[in-house]
Structure 1
Amino acid sequence: MSKRSALLGGLLLATCFLTWFLWWYLDRAPLVWSALLWAGVLLILFFARAGGERLSLWVNAAALLLAVAFAEGFLWIRQATNPYLIPSGVTFEGSFTTPNYFFVMPEAVLGYRPRPGVSVQSIKKYFGKLVYDVHYTVGDDGLRVSPPVKDAPVGCILFFGDSFAWGEAVQDSETTAYQLGVLSGGTHRVYNFAFTGYGAHQMLAQLQRGIVKGTVACKPDEPVYAVYQALPNNVGRVAGLGGWDKFGPRYVLLKDGRVMYKGRFDQGDAIADDRWYVKPGALRWLAKTQVYQRTLGRARSTNGFDDERFFAVVERSARTLEQQFPRAKLFVIVWEDLDERRSDPGSLAWRMWEGLKQRGLDARLVKDTLPGYEQNRHRYHVENDAHPSAEAHRLLAAYLYEQLNGNVHSRND
């Protein structure tokens, strides 16, 4: 073996080791640095073998790696801002912000949940101006507190969804769930299974994995009225694109239109419209690249297949609810997308509502539940915050109370 061959062999071994080290040590842009490293090595080989027969091979391979490095680097530079990061000027205070106190994560079934039996204060300010100062109280059952019931209640009301249904930014007694319980005069047990950041996949997991059945005290012959509040961004959450929901339940869409539980989001990745499954070991490395994240991973945009998966998860939730409670009915409220702020034909909210209706689900656009919503959005959302205001919760509860009475009467006729 010539001295030059030995040097080149040592260079390749050193490059392999350094490549492994870059992927093991760096969480950001390891593909950029490793592609540049190998491009440099190939150029060295080119000059070392000047006059050889395969010079174009080294040059073309180096050019390809430089293109990969440029594309990956460009994607990192142009990385989209996470809409769920706290924006500039916003601060939170109170016991709500105490690390590892209010939130339990990871959690085996739902990914995360509020800690049972706690009450926290949450204060939000915008450039020093108070936005809200509220308390969140969670009962021993792990749900936000509900009003007391009479000795002989006649039915149950279940709430599912995210922070809109949970009641972020309002007091315990101001949530839709609590208000509806008060309007019923204590004749219905109320259970709020919603929580900040949840999606339809958590609702289905709560039903399929026995959380609902193990929590409620609903008798088989009693009417069960369930309300799921959804936003268009819930489609991405079911697909596993919610950056905070790392341990949530994954459901894949089968060819026959059914959905199947496929472990947690941290246990692999279903990609290419659920056709392939990336195991955790490989995902650990692939997830470090923007090329993967933007095309197949958690940073990609939702598509029509994601819509169909979402609709199937909600439909499966409704059918599971009906199987567990023979007199149950799921009612869906569709809120507007927080960026679009519209629900006319062609909007994201309209598409969600239309898809749910086509699945035979009872869905309503929020504009049809709150008086003058489109003309008075400022009344129905907390200022400097996207969440529903106390007035929105109160009026939505009144609307649902009317629907509840109609539902009960129609089932008793």
Structure 2
Amino acid sequence: MSAEASPQNPRSETARRRRLALGALLIAAGLVAGLGLAEGFVRLFFPTFAPSSQVEFSYSAGPLLLAQPETQTRQISEAGDYDVAVRINSHGLRDVNDVATAGADDIVVVGDAFAWGWGVEAQDRFSDQLQVLSGRRTFNLATPTDIEGYAALLAYAKQLGSRAGRVVVIVDMEKDLQAAGRAMPSPASGSPLGAWLTRHSALYLLASRAFEGAFSPRAEPSGLGVTPNEYDPANIDRAANELEKIAEQYRMTVVLIPSRALWMGDDRSVEERVNTAFTVALQRRGIDVLDLQPVLEAQGSPLSYYFANDGHWTAGGHALVAHAISQHLAR
């Protein structure tokens, strides 16, 4: 073996290391270039996944995740259902009214994405229309969350200075009972890398959506993600007890958004049973309840109030609900 080929030769070992380093560098550069091209492809052909088209719920307020304060963006459906402007105030809320100024005669609407106004302009939401119909200042205190989150939202408003006495809590029967009893995820529990990618990468958002779609449990083939309820008296009692705690502090009306499973599939008996049992559980606790099922079914086509490819209300659905709540509160 020659001296140059010998592994004992320092120059030969240095050259080998340089070749390995160069190879690794070229591979890394290729991966970065490939990811860059894929990112550009997604932004060009799937613009709704661009981070600029996403509402970022990453502002921590206690156990809550609210939208980033003082931001303006658009919320765009990849299926073409909506393209709306979103403006977030200094508290991380989608509202031109400042909930910190809410008083005893005002109305505070508390809820999840329905109340937040997913897919509709702010002025088309039922909360904004309720303000016009009732003649009372109405505040929108909503973010994608669940029943425990509704209590946390009210605590957040009180911390800001709210003295609200009249509260309308929107309960989503499609998910809120299933979430009853589960601990709220901590805002800090997510991956920092995932949070960064969500803010900056359309490719990551597209991949995440595809993963969720592939592994979402019991999702309907329609793509609307309807998960049927199971009749569970324990869950019903837990949810009713959580709302009773809110009723002890405020004049509260609970508005029930029925599950779309009532109108999809052949067997609606379980959903009917759950809806009735939960209504009775709330009434036994002295809680005022407005069930939207008959309101949405009155014209015989309840699903027409929802987007074709998204499980939230259209502007027409919000208008219908605003009138129903206004009439109920005026009794």
| TM-score above 0.5, yes or no | yes
Q: Shorter-chain-normalised TM-score: which range?
A: 0.5 to 0.7
State yes or no: 1:204 paired with 2:204: no
Residue number among 271, 279, 289 corresponding to 1:363 in the alignment: 289
Partner of 2:122: 172
8 Å CA contact 2:180, 2:239 repeated in 1: yes
Q: CA deviation at 1:339?
A: 2.9
Partner of 1:332: 254
CA displacement, residues 231-277 of structure 1 (integer Å, 9 cap, x when unaligned): 24202223228xxx5327xxxxxxxxxxxxxxx999xxxxxxxxxxx
Partner of 1:383: 308
The runs of 5 or more residues in structure 2 that have no matched partner are: 1-45, 191-229
Partner of 2:243: 314
Partner of 1:114: 67
SS of 1:202's equivalent in the other structure is helix
Q: CA deviation at 1:165?
A: 1.3
Residue number among 351, 360, 364 corresponding to 2:277 in the alignment: 351
8 Å CA contact 2:231, 2:270 repeated in 1: no
State yes or no: 1:191 paired with 2:139: yes
CA displacement, residues 251-304 of structure 1 (integer Å, 9 cap, x when unaligned): xxxxxxxxxxxxx999xxxxxxxxxxxxxxxxxxxxxxxxxxxxxxxxxx8843
- Distance verdict in 2 for CA 1:213–1:139, change over 3 Å: same
8 Å CA contact 1:93, 1:122 repeated in 2: no
- Distance verdict in 2 for CA 1:145–1:343, change over 3 Å: farther
Alpha-carbon separation, structure 1, partners of 2:231 and 2:182: 10
Query: Scaled by the length of structure 1, what TM-score is found?
Result: 0.51
- Distance verdict in 2 for CA 1:213–1:133, change over 3 Å: same
Equivalent runs, 1:257-272 vs 2, <5 Å: none
State yes or no: 1:103 paired with 2:24: no
Partner of 1:213: 158
Q: State the one-letter code of the partner of 2:160.
A: T
Partner of 1:157: 107
Which shows bigger deviation, 226-235 or 172-181?
Answer: 226-235
- Distance verdict in 2 for CA 1:398–1:302, change over 3 Å: closer
Alpha-carbon separation, structure 2, partners of 1:347 and 1:92: 39
Alpha-carbon separation, structure 2, partners of 1:174 and 1:124: 17
SS of 1:125's equivalent in the other structure is coil
- Distance verdict in 2 for CA 1:335–1:228, change over 3 Å: closer
Partner of 2:185: 246
SS of 1:192's equivalent in the other structure is strand
Matched-pair identity in %: 22
Which is helix-richer, 1 or 2? Answer: 2
Q: CA deviation at 1:338?
A: 3.1
8 Å CA contact 1:96, 1:102 repeated in 2: no
- Distance verdict in 2 for CA 1:396–1:94, change over 3 Å: farther
CA displacement, residues 71-121 of structure 1 (integer Å, 9 cap, x when unaligned): xxxxxxxxxxxxxxxxxxx984455655xx72116x352341111211221
Partner of 1:55: none
State yes or no: 1:181 paired with 2:131: yes
SS of 1:320's equivalent in the other structure is coil
Q: State the one-letter code of the partner of 1:206.
A: L
- Distance verdict in 2 for CA 1:199–1:139, change over 3 Å: same
Greater relative contact order structure (CA < 8 Å, 6+ sep): 2
8 Å CA contact 1:102, 1:118 repeated in 2: no
The runs of 5 or more residues in structure 1 that have no matched partner are: 1-89, 249-263, 267-300, 322-328, 407-413
Q: State the one-letter code of the partner of 1:356.
A: L
Alpha-carbon separation, structure 2, partners of 1:180 and 1:265: 36
Q: Tell me the matched-pair count.
A: 242
State yes or no: 1:397 paired with 2:322: yes
8 Å CA contact 1:240, 1:265 repeated in 2: no
Alpha-carbon separation, structure 2, partners of 1:139 and 1:201: 23
Which is strand-richer, 1 or 2? Answer: 1
Q: State the one-letter code of the partner of 1:214.
A: Q
State yes or no: 1:231 paired with 2:170: no
Partner of 2:3: none
8 Å CA contact 1:161, 1:193 repeated in 2: yes
Q: State the one-letter code of the partner of 1:229.
A: V
SS of 1:120's equivalent in the other structure is strand
CA displacement, residues 353-393 of structure 1 (integer Å, 9 cap, x when unaligned): 222222221112212344615x1113211112110111111
Alpha-carbon separation, structure 1, partners of 2:48 and 2:269: 31
